[in-house]
Amino acid sequence: METASYVTASLRHFVTGASIETDLPTEWTIEHATREISHALGLPVTDTNNGPAYYELFRNRADGPGEKLPPSGTVGDLVHEGDEIVPLPEITPG
């Protein structure tokens, strides 16, 4: 039987700046993690036009610039202990 693996990261609400530390399952895709994190932070589920709100995850590290995480990647491959994860609204040109 396999044991689940986790990475500890800080989740930051982009509006309030509030931050919480949590353990994220390493097998989650970034797409799945985005949904779970957005829900956990209580981010709006609708946009300003009453359509569904979509978010993208960004990773901040103390030793480098912020980076957008690709939806098909996994938490285990892209998130390291102590990273700050920030879901931001997806911007669609048009």
Statement: residue 87 has pLDDT above 90: yes
pLDDT, tens only, 70-82: 999 999 999 999 9
Domains annotated on the chain, with CATH: 6-89 (3.10.20.90)
User: Looking at residue 2, what is its pLDDT?
Assistant: 62
84 burial level (CB within 10 Å; 0-12, 13-18, 19+): middle
CA–CA distance, 37 with 64 (Å, rounded to integer): 22
Query: Is residue 89 within 8 Å of residue 46, measured between CB atoms?
Result: no
pLDDT, tens only, 9-58: 999 999 999 999 999 999 999 999 999 999 999 999 998 889 999 999 99
Tokens, residue 53? 């709100």
CA pseudo-torsion sign 66, 82, 41, 32:
positive
Work out the pLDDT band at 1, boundaries 50, 70, 90: low
23 burial level (CB within 10 Å; 0-12, 13-18, 19+): exposed
User: Looking at residue 65, what is its pLDDT?
Assistant: 82
Statement: residue 4 has pLDDT above 90: no
Statement: residue 8 has pLDDT above 90: yes
